[in-house]
Amino acid sequence: MFKPGQVIINYLKSQGRNIDLPLDQLRQFQEFERMIQARFESYEGKEFSVTYGMQSFITVQMLVIAIMATGEFPALQRCYDDLLKLFKHDKAFDDGISLESWIFFNFPATRGGHPIGREVLLQSSKTASTIALFVEKALESRLGLYEVVKDGADQCQLKELFTNKRIIVGQSLGGVERSTIALCRVIEIGGKHWVFGNTAEFPAARRSLIENMVEDKMSIYFYNGNDLKSYETMMRLAGPYWFSIMASDDSHDILNPDHYLQYYKV
């Protein structure tokens, strides 16, 4: 358990950074960490996979904030600030997971590099042993487009478009109709698959339209000679594009699938 007000400061100390910070900034760190601690404690007593997954995610969230405070990853900071400014207050992202999952586990923190989730394990050796299983699975995960085969009371059967992978997730999507297309992130935690974050749902009648749209976009922005790899790359890197589609506020512009590249520009 972390002590509110100490995580970011202790991380900066461990990196040999200057901790002579303005009082208002220290208070912001303390307030943020108290909020995070309350979320951390709220998952106590739930099913192991849920408790471990969410507490690990919250720990990653804390460590990423600490890493960003060093100024070592400016593209990551720009990405984080921009996406939260655009979508944080949109009800499609009221879960507190969907936006940051992509930022932490899919967005390359440096151009051509790896996501900051990998850096968390490399820079936080004391904590890494506790959260490593979650982080490794999170780094493997990405957004995907799934046909709902059957949505039951306590589990849901999904079949991914393009890859045809079949997955059983350990939760209901809330009684979604068969053949509905769901846009979501699926992650394995504790031997079970879970939908991690909110989903966006599209009627079955739009399946061909969606498939054609994805084929067009991936051939323009992510084509590498293999349709399957192009699809997987698009679903991994085009987070801001998908967020602009998921957003309930339709006043947002639809971002380009390669919008993530903008964050590397100074």
Q: What is the pLDDT of residue 143?
A: 98
Q: Which run of H or E residues covers position 208?
A: helix 207-221
Cβ proximity of 137 and 227 under 8 Å: no
Q: What is the pLDDT of residue 216?
A: 97
Token couple for 72: 């070592």
Dist CA 74 CA 72 (whole Å): 6
Q: What is the pLDDT of residue 221?
A: 97
Given the DSSP bridges, would you call strands 156-160 and 166-169 parallel, antiparallel or unpaired? antiparallel
What are the pLDDT tens digits along the chain (266 aa)? 455 455 666 666 666 665 566 666 666 666 666 666 677 777 777 787 888 898 899 889 888 988 888 889 999 999 999 999 999 999 999 998 999 999 999 999 999 999 999 999 988 767 778 899 999 999 999 999 999 999 999 999 999 999 999 999 999 999 999 999 999 999 999 889 999 999 999 999 999 999 999 999 999 999 988 999 999 999 999 999 999 999 998 888 999 999 999 999 97
DSSP 72-103: S-HHHHHHHHHHHHHHTTSGGGTTSSHHHHHH
DSSP 218-231: HHHHS-SS-HHHHH
Q: What is the pLDDT of residue 4?
A: 46
Q: What is the pLDDT of residue 19?
A: 57
Residue ranges of domains in the chain: 7-72+107-140, 143-204, 207-264
Q: What is the pLDDT of residue 197?
A: 95
